[in-house]
Amino acid sequence: MGNTLEILRRVAELRERIASWRGSNPDARIGLVPTMGCIHDGHLALIHAARAACDHVVVSLFVNPTQFGPSEDFSGYPRDEATDSRLIGQAGADVLFMPSVAEMYGDGPATTVSVSRVSEGLCGDHRPGHFDGVATIVAKLFGQVRPDAAWFGEKDYQQLLVIRRMTEDLDLSVQVESVPTIREPDGLAMSSRNAYLTDEERRLAPRLFAVLTDAAQAIADGCRADDCCRDAILALHKAGFPEIDYVEARDAATLEPITGTTTGPARVLAAVRLGKARLIDNLAVPQRG
């Protein structure tokens, strides 16, 4: 059984709702789950985590044009407001905030939030401007909702660290929480973009998780990270992935590259292109002892 979901499309209405919650209980905890819709179990895990920790939960659904490159899938990004609002309501959100592009950006903002270092390399190299778009929209949502905490998935690991860093650097007083990647039974990380896969591509897609699992284990066993990542790229090509953007090992906290052996917290991250889809995934390197 879910709550009664209130759908708001204007920033002014959202602010009024938040003010009424804070007015009736100044200690109430307000949680935010930003999404671009096409809701799947990964999003539901974020909403459930927010629901368990907060008195009020706002989910935003906004397909943010500024985080898509000119040749990316903004116009074709899957949109289904009716199904999404049903699922978001059933998961226990109180408010679904669904602004238009004009409501969010007016006649075009002059301000962009840009987070250096953690947004460089990996997806930052392959999607120029993407993390500026993400950081800017998340900063705006934080300003509009003023949540106590906000939830993001570990599947978008670089995004998570970009948002953490921005929140810290700008003293935004929002607790940034994360939830582990939710996977299909065959290991494929849940993603809205999995909808683009043909049947044949869908059968191949979970090999990404299998190859990353082997790479993470090999690094944990003491192999050099650059060798393991090179082997992973070869294995992905051999499995039939036509285009691999990257497979890299990085420090789990700073995303500094790791090439040699490591015993510290590390992550193996990858992005591949498969038909119309660009799949990303990442895994923690198991810690010894």
Going by C-alpha positions, the residue among 226, 93, 69, 67 that lies closest to residue 156 is: 67
Our finding on whether 216 is near ligand PAF (CB under 6 A) is no
**End-to-end CA distance of the chain, in Å?**
43
Cα-based distances in Å from 76 to 32, 167, 188, 192, 196: 26, 30, 22, 12, 10
Q: Which stretch binds ligand PAF (CB under 6 A): 71-79, 133-141, 227-235, 242-250?
A: 133-141
Site for ligand PAF contains 167 (CB under 6 A): no
Exposed e or buried b for every residue in 166-198, given b needs 16+ CB within 10 A?
bbeeeebebebbbbebbbbeeebbbbbbbebbe
Element (H, E) at 180: none
Consecutive H or E run containing 177: strand 175-179
Annotated catalytic residue 130: no
Residue listed under structure tokens 């935010």? 32
Per CB under 6 A, 158 contacts ligand PAF: no
For ligand PAF, the closer of residues 150 and 229 by Cβ is 150
Q: Does 18 bind ligand PAF (CB under 6 A)?
A: no
Contact 213/178 with Cβ under 8 angstroms? no
Indicate the residue among 106 and 289 with the shorter CB distance to ligand PAF.
Answer: 106
Q: Is 137 in the site for ligand PAF (CB under 6 A)?
A: yes
Interaction residues for ligand PAF, span 42-81 (CB under 6 A) = 64, 67
The reply on whether position 166 binds ligand PAF by CB under 6 A is no
Cβ proximity to ligand PAF: between 137 and 258 the closer is: 137
Taking CB under 6 A as the rule, does residue 156 contact ligand PAF? Answer: yes
Q: Which residues contact ligand PAF by CB under 6 A?
A: 34-36, 64, 67, 134, 137-138, 156, 159
**Residues tagged active-site:** 43
